[in-house]
Amino acid sequence: MLIGYSLALLLALVLGAPWWLLRMATSGKYREGLGERLGLVPTRVRRWLNGAPVIWIHAVSVGEVLAASRLIEELTQRLPEWQIVLSTTTRTGQKLARERFGENRVFYFPLDFAFAVRAWLRVLRPRLLILAETEFWPRMLAECRRADVLVAVVNARISDRSWPRYRRLRRLWQPLLIGLAAVQAQSELDAERLRALGVHNVQVGGNLKFDVRATRPAAVTERLREFLPGSLGVLVCGSTLAGEEEMLLEAVPEGVVTILAPRHPERFADVAQLLRRRGERWVRRTEWMQAPATLEPGTVFLLDSVGELASVYSLADVAFVGGSLVPAGGHNPLEPAQFGIPVLMGESFENFRGIVEALRAGEAIRIVRRDELGAVLAAALDDRAGARAMGRRGLEVFEREAGATARAMAAILELLAVRA
């Protein structure tokens, strides 16, 4: 199976080479970290290791890095004689991880070829690989078993979108997943799906995202507090995708300050062009920070930065979480809920179903159809008392569901104790 998989992966890369090369040449998006992806371990990482035992954590992008942050901090404190290293797949995840943990122990995850995976395993010699969510790469799992590296999964989930594909291929996945040393699933449904794929050591640990807290305000948040008129409504629209910005701009009531945060940095220019084309009164975060001024009623503030949205949510009277008006599965509603901010989302939230259902059970979120978006936004911004009550209920849910990090830590320490 692995030979067939490797050939298929190689064929996909060869056929897609013209597109990849074009993207590298025009945007640099995939050029960064290419050597690391191909198995070249940089000197900074080699020096960081210093002969200590290693735990390797893999978190795909920004959301997974944020979710794993508390766990990484706990491991660093509880296991001072170990080195904790972190890999990501995306550039935005890499940027955030380096900002939080330093560049010496952060690198790009290798492509799933034997030569690249083995190169990293030879240098790191990890005792344990921890995968965040469901980053199951066949070659990596096989090579870890070959090198006697324990593999654990935290925050494990199988989305509604992914489940049919996993189920069809369960006979192929079972030999790889049966060897997982420990799996902490987000929910009982995720645990059931994993067991159906042949995973034995599954426990329901909860969602690490309930333990993520913005520890300090971002620089832009502190400046905005000074320049946001207190009497105006503030709507923060976070993690928006293509098509959503226009829907939201059409629906926002007059006189509201809208903070618009596109999900992907490569779309900042496109959204700026949309705002110009619509004739909106708007300002970019990067330019505004150089000469801050009071935001007038009806202004759109384009948050063209990475890693600041979670903090900026604290400024909102109402938050709308994007990726949900288009069929993309939604983004994390806990980022505003942690501040007691009332949350609205569209009908596509399957990637965060467990979190959304917990908030719905606590009457702490409103799911909005496209055709009612304007009316719901206006009502939420107008009814300040009702919005604050919803926000308080969301904070209660957030605090009640916390604890996944402690459960994951206990499972990891038990694994290490058994292996010692």
- What are the pLDDT digits (tens) for 62-83? 889 989 999 999 999 999 999 9
The predicted pLDDT at position 232 comes to: 74
Catalytic residues: 64
Spatial separation of the C-alpha atoms in residues 282 and 24, rounded to whole Å: 31
- Spatial CA neighbour of 238 closest among 205, 269, 271: 271
pLDDT at 63: 87
Token pair belonging to 249 = 């701009």
Q: What is the pLDDT of residues 11-58, one digit of tens each?
A: 777 676 676 566 666 666 666 889 999 999 999 999 999 889 999 999
Report pTM.
0.84
Burial of 121 (0-12, 13-18, 19+ CB in 10 A): buried
CA distance 298 to 282: 8
CA-based Rg of the chain, rounded to a whole angstrom? 22
Res 181: pLDDT: 96
| Distance separating alpha carbons of residues 88 and 66, to the nearest angstrom | 12
Q: In what order do the strands lie in the sheet containing 106-108? A: 106-108, 83-88, 54-58, 128-132, 150-156, 182-185, 202-204
pLDDT at res. 27: 62
Give the pLDDT score at 128.
97
Residues in the chain where the model's pLDDT stays below 50: none
Ordered structural domains, the chain, with CATH: 28-206+403-419 (3.40.50.11720), 219-400 (3.40.50.2000)
